[in-house]
Amino acid sequence: MKTFSLIVLLLLTSASLIAQAPAKPKADPFAAFWSEFKTAVAKDDREAVVSLTKLPMYLANKEQSKDGFLKLYASLFPKKVKTCFATAKPVKEYNSDSYSVFCGKSIYVFSRVEGKYKFTDLGVND
């Protein structure tokens, strides 16, 4: 009887362990955003880039709406930046939900806005 009870106990324990699905690693929302953003820039999909950008954005010494952003687009994302984005490794800011990408003399900043990542700032890499 003890042997039977032990076998039943072992079967129940192993069945409960098998039934528990392994925990899936959490999806990184920034990784998905970054892939979408750099692809849009590479394809020169300006409307997609605008949709992934927090506007208005302060550029060229003033706040730029969508129209102003689109006028500056070619200077914001020249060929060198597109090439840089293809291999760039975003750097997570310490104690923040923001990431930075360094391309030459420019720093592209991405932050959470209302729960979603957006392109939020462009600074000088000095």
pLDDT along the chain (126 residues), means of 10: 51 51 71 98 98 97 97 97 97 94 96 97 90
53: which 2 tokens? 């950008």
2 located within any domain: no
CATH number reported for the structural domain that contains residue 89 in this entry: 3.10.450
15 located within any domain: no
Residue 48: burial class (beta carbons within 10 Å; 0-12, 13-18, 19+) = middle
Structural domain of 69? 27-124
Q: Is the dihedral of CA 51, 69, 104, 99 positive or negative?
A: negative
Q: What tens digit of pLDDT does each residue of 89-105 get?
A: 999 999 899 999 999 99
17 located within any domain: no
2: which 2 tokens? 């003890």
Q: What angle do CA 53, 59, 65 make, to 5 degrees?
A: 55
9 located within any domain: no
